[in-house]
Amino acid sequence: MTVLITGGAGFIGSTIASACADRGHEVIVLDDLSTGVAAFADRHRFYRGDIADGALLDRIVRENPDIDVVVHCAAKIVVPDSVADPLGYFDANVARTVSLLTNLTRNGLDRVVFSSSAAIYDTPVDGVVHEGSPVAPPSPYADTKAVVERVLQAGATAGSLRAVALRYFNPIGADPSLRTGLQSPTPSHALGKLISARRDGGRFTITGTDWPTRDGSGVRDYVHVWDLAEAHALVVDRFDEVVGALRPFRALNLGTGRGTTVLELVEAFGRVTGQAPRVELAGRRPGDTAGAFADVSAARDLLGWEARLSVDEGIADALRWADVARRSGLFDHASAPVAR
């Protein structure tokens, strides 16, 4: 099969691209390289540009008439930034996605796999969310994901497309083969900040210690990015089984099914590195929640998928990748290739 991946030069999109290529699929990447890494995209057929550019989409389809499935990963993802700039986030994540979908369907491409987020869920009392759990996005970022899901569902109901929304939790790690990993030297998520603090000799800040969890820190479902990538590749393989005429839109949770608090992540980081991180405590950030973890029974039953890699393995792979990226100078975006 031939797969078009938007945002395929980013952390998750590039890992999905590798998983699909490993299964024998032809991969095409569309990315504007605003946050992506050129080297990630350049290993596949690559087009540099905006997902909302209709003329570029026309060209991609014209030059690749055998595209079977589109995996849509392109998005802005930093929660505090979305609170500060909600209009920018709705423009990037919603308005441009609508343009993308319009241009895809106009070109006869109607199979879409959407990288959604478990951030859309309301915080559950017991910490567990399933696909039918209440949706109450706590930030503009999360709201953009929920709105795009509604757009996809409406399009599916109208018969213009079919879509699978994969709601995943907190990606960690890197491609175990170290082909790709976090594309930013200053990542915004917890593990990335732990790595940065270790590298720079600073402290890791835990934001919020009064959540209703077992130790007061937020609970998360830290899932290895390679497990997430393999789940996307499975959906690509079995798209017509996952959605069909009777159910043209489906949402699936992807996670480990186990909750890990931020303090437990810090403990695991110390266990992997052999040195306890220096920690300081701070108040909650805008848009933060107590968190949740996934009920993944639907993905297991439908795809035969379960997360195989542990939190410790995710930390170890992220550390190995950080060393490789730093030594190679991979974070220098100045040499981005042109679209072809």
Catalytic residue positions, numbered: 141
Strand partners, 219: 261, 291
Cβ 69 vs Cβ 3: under 8 Å: yes
Q: Is 134 exposed, middle or buried (0-12, 13-18, 19+ CB in 10 A)?
A: exposed
| Sequence-distant (≥ 6) Cβ neighbours of residue 10 within 8 angstroms | 31, 35, 36, 37, 40, 73, 74, 183
Fill in the DSSP letter of residue 334. G
Closest CA to 90 of 178, 20, 36, 151: 151
> For residues 119 and 93, what is the distance between their CA atoms, to the nearest angstrom?
15
Cβ 6 vs Cβ 154: under 8 Å: no
Cβ 269 vs Cβ 275: under 8 Å: no
> For residues 257 and 294, what is the distance between their CA atoms, to the nearest angstrom?
5
C-alpha distances (whole Å) from 189 to each of 79, 122, 157 are 10, 20, 35
C-alpha distances (whole Å) from 101 to each of 104, 245, 248 are 5, 19, 15
Closest CA to 218 of 167, 279, 284: 284
> For residues 173 and 225, what is the distance between their CA atoms, to the nearest angstrom?
6
Query: Please, how many CA atoms are within 13 Å of residue 128, restricted to the half-sphere of its CB?
Result: 8
> For residues 118 and 116, what is the distance between their CA atoms, to the nearest angstrom?
7
Instruction: Give Cα 144 to chain centroid, integer Å.
Output: 14
